[in-house]
């Protein structure tokens, strides 16, 4: 399954925890784009994954449970 996780990091101290979680799922991540919006004091990250729904849900939940982090997933079916 292909999915996109949108992440907004509002607290700078959460950045290391977000990166650690993403590192743990590195085999499922096929792309990552990060935008530091310094003037707003936030980071916006989009992650593209190719894995099963359980792993997508687990990562999204773990990210969203971090203080100062919001994460939402959009799912696709993948393949042709």
What's the pLDDT at 80?
A: 47
Residue 30: exposure state from Cβ atoms within 10 A (0-12, 13-18, ≥19): exposed
Give CA–CA dist 16/38, Å, rounded.
17
What's the pLDDT at 79?
A: 54
Contacts 24+ apart (CB under 8 A), 20-23: 21/59, 21/62, 21/63, 21/66, 22/47, 22/59
For the chain, 80 residues long, give each residue's pLDDT as a single digit of tens. 999 999 999 999 999 999 999 999 999 999 999 999 999 999 999 999 999 999 999 999 999 999 999 999 999 876 54
Helices (H), 4-52: 15-24
């Amino acid at each position: 399954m292909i999915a996109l996780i949108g992440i907004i990091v509002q607290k700078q101290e959460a950045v290391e925890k977000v990166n650690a979680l993403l590192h743990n799922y590195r085999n499922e991540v096929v792309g990552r784009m990060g935008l530091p919006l310094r003037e707003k004091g936030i980071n916006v990250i989009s992650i593209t994954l190719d894995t099963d729904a359980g792993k997508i849900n687990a990562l999204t939940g773990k990210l969203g449970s971090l203080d100062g982090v919001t994460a939402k997933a959009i799912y696709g079916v993948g393949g042709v």
